[in-house]
Structure 1
C-alpha cells in the first residue's frame, strides 16, 4: 500500500515526472548542460534560498506544538547560518561574486514559486506549507538519486558532480527521510476532502518547480 505522500505523487504522476526528469536535469546528469544555464540557475537559487528561509520563518509562526516549532526553527537557522554561506561559496567557484548575487532581480519563475509557497502557508496551515515545499525538499533528493541510477549519467569529469553529490549524499537524504516521515504522519490523519485540497497545492508547486528548471534553460 502506498504511503500518503506516494499517493499524492501518483495523483500527479505526469507533473512529477516532468519535474524530476526535466531536460535540465537530464543535461545536468550528462554534463552537457550549458554553463550559462547552470550559472543562471545558481543565481536564482540564491534568491530562492532567501525566500525559503522566510517560508521556514512562517513555519515557526504556524507551528502549534514545541516539536514543530523546533523543527521549523532548526530549518530556518540552517538556511540562514549555513546554507546561504555555502551557496555563496559555491557560486564563487562558478565565477559569481557575492556582489553579483546582491544585485540580482528575481526571475518570473522564482517569484511565482516562492510566493506561491508563502501564500500557501499564509492562507493555510503548517501542513499546506510543508506540502508546498515538498517538491523542493523531497524532489531534489529524488532527482539526485535518479541521476545516479541513469546509464547516461556522466560519472567522471562531470562539471556538475558536486551538485549531484550534495543532494545524493547521506546528510541531504536523511533530511528527505525526516520530511517524508513528517508528511506521511500528518497526511495519514486528514480526511478525503482535505487531501484533495492538499493535492492541488502539491500539483501546483510541482509544476512551478519544473518551471524553475525551464528558467535555467531559457535564461529567463
Structure 2
C-alpha cells in the first residue's frame, strides 16, 4: 500500500496541530496579534522567500528530466516575478519599505529553517526538498482554512484579514492542491524505510515552522 501526504501529517500530528493552531495564528485570526509581532514576521518572511527561491533554483539543478526542470523553473519564476513583489507591496502597507527589507539581519528562526531546507535539498533529492518545504506551502493553505472554520476569527475590522485572504485565495489553494498531488504521486512508490526518513524531514521542518511563529510572539514581548 502506497503512502500519501496525509500520512506525513499523521506521523507528526501533535507538531502539525501545534503549527497550524499556534497562538500567533489564533491571535492573527482574532485580530488581537500585536502589530510589532506581525511586522517582525513580515520582514523575516521576506528573507524566507529569497531562500525559497534559492530552493527552487536548486530544484532546477536537481531535475532529472524536462518535466521536473520546467516545474522547478516555474516555481522559481513565480517567486521572483510575483510573490516577492506582492510581499514588498504588502510590507509597504505596514510601513516597511524595500530598503529596510534588504538591510535586515536574519533572525535565528529564519536561519534555522531556510538552511535546513537547503541542506536537505543538497543532501537528498527533489522529494526530500519538497517534503521539507511542504509545511510552508501546504501549511499556509491549511492554516487559512482552519482560521475560516473558527468562531473566534474576525474578517471585518481585522488588520490581518488581507493575510488570510492571500492564503484562502483560489490561486493559492490550487497551488497547495497541486503540491499535495505532486507529493502523493511520489510517496505512493516509496518503501517503509524511505517514508520514515521523509517523515523525519517533515517533522523537523514543521518544528522549525513552529519556531518561526514563536519568533514573532517573542519579538512582541
* TM-score interval (norm. to shorter): over 0.9
Q: Which residue of structure 2 aligns with residue 54 of structure 1?
A: 54
Mapping of residues 126-137 of structure 1, within 5 Å: 126-137=126-137
Q: Say yes or no: does 1:153 pair with 2:132.
A: no
Q: Unaligned regions of 5+ residues in structure 1, if any?
A: none
Distance across 2 between alignment mates of 1:30 and 1:88: 24
Cα distance change on mapping 1:160 and 1:3 into 2, 3 Å: farther
Name the stretch that deviates more: 62-71 or 13-22: 62-71
Per-residue deviation at 1:155? Answer: 2.4
The DSSP-based 3-state class of the residue aligned with 1:219 is helix
CA RMSD of aligned residues (A): 1.3
Q: Say yes or no: does 1:33 pair with 2:33.
A: yes
TM-score by length of 2: 0.97
Q: Which residue of structure 2 aligns with residue 10 of structure 1?
A: 10
Distance across 2 between alignment mates of 1:82 and 1:12: 32
Per-residue deviation at 1:3? Answer: 5.9
Q: Name segments (4+ residues, structure 1) moved above 3 Å.
A: none
Cα distance change on mapping 1:61 and 1:166 into 2, 3 Å: same
The one-character-per-residue Cα deviations of 1:120-171 (angstroms, maximum 9, x if unpaired) are: 0000000000000000000000000100110010121110011000101100
Q: Which residue of structure 2 aligns with residue 44 of structure 1?
A: 44
Distance across 1 between alignment mates of 2:91 and 2:8: 34
TM-score by length of 1: 0.98
Q: Unaligned regions of 5+ residues in structure 2, if any?
A: none
